[in-house]
Chain A
Amino acid sequence: MVTKTKTKTVQNVNQAACQELKKAIGAEKVRDDEITLVTHGRINHGFDPSMPFHMPSMVVFPETREDVVETLKIANKYKISVNPVGIAQMAIPTAEGDIILDQRHRDKIIEINTDSGYAVLEPGVSHDKLTSTLRGTGFKCEVGTMTGSATVLAGGLTGGSKSFSNRHLSSILDLEVVLPDVTIFNTGSSMFPGVGPHVRARPYADLAGLFTGSNGTLGVITRFAVRLHPVNEVSRVHVAGFSNFSDAVDYVKDLVNHNIPEHCIIWNWHMYHTWPLDSEGMKTVMPEILKMDIRKPPEGTPYSMVTSFLSGYEEQVEFYEKMCVKIALKCHGRAYPREEVEKRWPQTMAGLKQQYEDYSYREGTHWARGRWSGFVVFAEPKDIKEVEKLAVKEFAELGPRARPINNYAHPFDYGRTFLFRYAGFPETDDVETRMKIGKKTMELCALALKKYRAVPIRGMGESEGEKAYLDVLGRIKKALDPNNILNRAAGAGLYKGGR
């Protein structure tokens, strides 16, 4: 009975907040109908079989920054958690009764600056919208999509999804943030009147870094600037193959250290056979792939393939191609002539051409006969080699139900660190295998961290060092968000002693 009374009180509070918010920003921007709420809830589904059900209390679609401010004011007054999301809401870490703040209606491209090379955007701008707008400007965006129409902001905040550059870890230059107490400020050079966002952190500490990757737990980003890069005279993909991952890493390191490619990816052979096949292609290729052992590619098929994006003047790119051939040989691999790649892996080449030569990276067909389950870590070059060996062995032992198993790796920050993604694609309804992979992933993350100094992309909160860091972050969270209203579910580990 106590629980019921409590639930009723919470509902009343939420209803009062909802009415007040509708009055403040307009009823059409606040939806609290049951269908909207349940479809924005956490539902046990293929993406994550262990999701407990939670339902928000309202979904807000702000059209202006002031709408965001009003939402936070009312959330503070009623102490309701606010969960800011963009177009692609892959997993909504909703706490029961959250306000979901969906900024997809705020989708203006405010400025494209082709002198300094940045774009100023509202959070709802999709990747497609930005890349379409950039056509003909001579500039491109380095942010990848993650999922189809994901916001550029989401892609920019997740360092792992960059598609066009090895050269920075973050593509974010400037953020406009609304804090829970509705203070509005800019993290970059646009804090100065009339100045554009061309410098990320001068003359003060880099606060953009505080808000990127914070999952909306510290502030709501209402405008942002991302890096743009010029489209050079020639843009070409180069492909080299290696019999093992280690040689491929050495090759990439050498290329990047000589500033040759704009971007590189190391693909395992499963991955380059299946990306980006259309659904018909998937149906024919995938069953064959499923029969094979990940550790043993078919005769004549390189275990790892490195695709490098080369750009510059024609003479420069020709020189780069020669360098790629030379360095591939040095690293015990071989460069593949374009014609051979087009013949042997036509869909891969078509995808790469689209991504690198047409600057229009859109998602191809996913391997949807199953669900991505896997792990992602950052590690130094020599360590990433060991991580790959470990992951291949452990995932292969999970058995055929975990297949197909794909992995790929990118260098970042001029090869100082490599991102490594590993995934199995069990059947959607094979909850047992997915749970098994989930467990294995946690074990592998812990092992990779302990043995090979690999940094997981999601915090584990176990080591003393990590605990100390989280303590500092928690203190910042408490100072900025005393009522703990921002993304309470994601910020749970940060906030102790609050409501």
Chain B
Amino acid sequence: MRGLLYVLTALAVIGLAFWAYQENYKTQAAIAEVRDLHQEIGAAHERLSMLRAEWAYLNRPDRLADLADLNFDRLGLLPLMPDAFGAADQIIYPLPPIAPIVNPIELSADDLAALENDL
């Protein structure tokens, strides 16, 4: 009986050691992955902040004003003035939808020529 207990204890120790060994390696792998992810996130943050800075630089009011002046012929942008405000009743009602085509006639140049010959 006692011998069996010893054997079982020894087996339990071996089993636990094996489990701890595996857990240790899993933890190491997880830590390495977290480190890589942190690096990736850090790089992404840096890129994001760079892009945000570039966005802010390209959208600076001076540049937008210059662009609006340059493209005035096409866009006709003016500074927002009090007369830009409108009333709700200035908006037109939606146009009635176009009725679907129910009885289509196909007409090509050949048909037209044939029609003229008949006449």
Same complex origin of A and B: no
